[in-house]
Structure 1
């Protein structure tokens, strides 16, 4: 009887650990399925849009500032400094207006961030038969990264960051943009 009790306790602990460490994989599967089917209500449940927008604003603002600092024409001109002041506001407004469930679905399906300044968008990756590779991994106990790579652009990996919400729930809360 004592052995049975120890076995049940061990089984319960094993079940807890599997659920605890396996739960982000289930969330990723649900996120990809919702993106592929265009299930907006599911995406609304799986994405923390305010946190995701803030993360994207930070990424785009950092990229904008780095590009401005690297260009001597912008860095040394008075208007360049003005652009560096107003640039983050413009980025923030664009991100707030454009990031929604269909945009996140497109990011997951194509492994690329839509360009809001592109007047004539190129055909979406799904239209050209994109093969998106997914790799996963924990960054820490409460952050899980999903790396999306289009095989046609192997050096352009988009990283989506999920954050633990409670014991077993995860939400998409951040993004790391590809270099360049």
Structure 2
């Protein structure tokens, strides 16, 4: 009887470890499915929009109104820091918003630039056909896995050298959020 209990505990531990290791991959697949279906609530649970917008802003170049001087601090310019704190927040540039929209995220997870992806074929009816279709679509490759961060690379179907890197960060035992998108070099030049 003790051997059976030990084996059961061992199987549960191995299962929990496998789920912990595979959780980022499931988060990527959920991101792709939620973006495909336009599930805004699901995307809100999977994407840290502030962090992703910040990384995209730096890659897409400065906005026309951006200043190159560093923001004033309370120690160097207290009045300037207070003015900056009281100013209304400016919305992100439209170039960034097309990347973080549901359609833009779906295009990026398929390896295309936002707005330039071909229409996705309709989902097949039967379960076996759905499994075959899912197995034939391009899979992301794992570039890095760590206990708190993981990176996936999606290559463009038409240009394999075009790599988009998705970085996920662990926020709970099995909860991962998208915190960074590294665009290919050809996307960075276009605002």
TM-score, normalised to structure 1, is: 0.67
* Residues 19 and 128 of structure 1, relative CA distance in 2, 3 Å threshold: closer
Instruction: Give the alignment partner of residue 117 of structure 2, picking from 122, 125, 147.
Output: 125
TM-score, normalised to structure 2, is: 0.63
Residue 151 (structure 1) aligned with residue 152 (structure 2)? no
RMSD, aligned α-carbons = 3.1
Report the 3-state secondary structure (helix = DSSP H, G, I; strand = E; otherwise coil) of the residue aligned with 2:68. Answer: helix
Report the 3-state secondary structure (helix = DSSP H, G, I; strand = E; otherwise coil) of the residue aligned with 1:146. Answer: strand
Equivalent residues of 1:145, 1:159 under 8 A apart: yes
User: How many residues end up aligned between the 2 structures?
Assistant: 148
In the other structure, the counterpart of 1:105 is 106
Note the 1:30-41 alignment, pairs <5 A: 30-41=30-41
Equivalent residues of 2:36, 2:103 under 8 A apart: no
Report the 3-state secondary structure (helix = DSSP H, G, I; strand = E; otherwise coil) of the residue aligned with 1:85. Answer: coil
Gaps of 5+ in 1: 65-82, 115-122
Instruction: Give the alignment partner of residue 165 of structure 1, picking from 136, 153, 171.
Output: 171
CA distance in structure 2 between the aligned counterparts of 1:124 and 1:134, rounded to whole angstroms: 19
Is the strand fraction higher in 1 or 2? Answer: 1
CA distance in structure 1 between the aligned counterparts of 2:26 and 2:97, rounded to whole angstroms: 29
In the other structure, the counterpart of 2:146 is 140
CA distance in structure 2 between the aligned counterparts of 1:139 and 1:15, rounded to whole angstroms: 18
Report the 3-state secondary structure (helix = DSSP H, G, I; strand = E; otherwise coil) of the residue aligned with 2:144. Answer: strand
Q: 1:28: Cα distance to partner? A: 1.4
CA distance in structure 2 between the aligned counterparts of 1:41 and 1:152, rounded to whole angstroms: 31
